[in-house]
Chain A
Amino acid sequence: MKNKKTVIALGLALAIIIVAFAALFIMNRPEAEKGNKTISVTVVFSDKSEKDYSIKTDAQYLGDALLQEKLVTEEEYSKGYYTVIADQRADYNLDKSWWCVTVNGEMTNVGINQQPISDGDEFEITNTPA
């Protein structure tokens, strides 16, 4: 009986936390824009060199635009978890390096596949070491 109460309490706590997170995510998620857009993407590599890409696309999200330009692989696009961008790897699970994404100078607060793009957006994707 005691364990049953604990299980119910923990189950409720888990459900409440999931709902709270979902609400936080929805409140902070930016809106997608339809139609043709031109965005710029600067990839900053581990040696601090940079490469600029001007992308004309009607994609609504950054992941789709990057896939269009073959800057990311289909496999990682389908998973929504990117380690290889522009042929360079940054894998947090291997060496704690990661890709930091900013839009118009500010860090994004969603994943690449969920990041909406608007005409004129300037993205910077930086290989950030541990």
Chain B
Amino acid sequence: MYISQVIMSHLPNIEIVSLLIIIITRKFGYKALASIYVFVGCEILTYGLSMWVINYLYVWLVLWFSVLLIRKIDSPLIYSLISAIFGLLFGTLCSVPYFLTGGITLGVTYIVGGFWFDILHCSGNFVSTLFLYRALTRIMDKMIKTQ
């Protein structure tokens, strides 16, 4: 997850971390939390401590839990839509600390200011999940079998 984020860091809000979380959660359920927080730890070591760390401590849990509820379903389209919704709501989910520290005005400003980036995040998540879900799932299945 960390390597993919670093490689794609020059593309604003385009990432496959969401897709990897979806696949790992489907395969490992609760144990996927370990992967998620190792990723968060790597990010903290790379970029240091700031407001975004608070966001990262809870935001990926939303996606993880959503997938956990339906992990038996094996549908690229369903996970693409979930990933798209998550991407669209990413900014809103990250705005919680701003609502708490700066009130409604700052929170709404944060959400509205990131609107276009959330649209980009939504589209990127939808397309990447739709086209890469099957291939990455097969790779994950092979890796699990060889262990």
Contacts and interface: CB of A to CB of B under 8 A. Distances in A.
B118 A21 contact: yes
B116 interface: yes
Interface string B123-147: 0000000000000000000000000
B50 A96 contact: yes
A14 B70 CA distance: 17
B52 A10 contact: no
B52 A96 contact: yes
Contact of B85 (A14, A28, A130): A14
Interface stretch (B21-29, B34-42, B75-83): B75-83
B109 interface: yes
A29 B75 CA distance: 38
Contacts of B115: 21, 24-25, 110
B124 to A, nearest CB: 13
A88 interface: no
Q: Classify chain A: how many residues form its interface, as a range.
A: 20 to 34
A130 B88 contact: no
Given A96-B47, A111-B116, A24 B111 contact: yes
Given A28-B108, A96-B52, A130-B52, A111 B12 contact: no
Contacts of A109: 108-109, 112-113
Interface in A6-57: 6-7, 10-11, 13-14, 17-18, 21, 24-25, 28-29
A94 B11 CA distance: 10
A81 B119 CA distance: 13
A80 B13 CA distance: 13
Nearest to B84: A14
B89 interface: yes
Interface of B: 9-12, 47-50, 52, 70, 73, 75, 77-78, 81-82, 84-85, 88-89, 106, 108-109, 111-113, 115-118, 122
The 4 closest A-B pairs by CB, nearest first: A10-B81, A109-B109, A93-B9, A109-B112
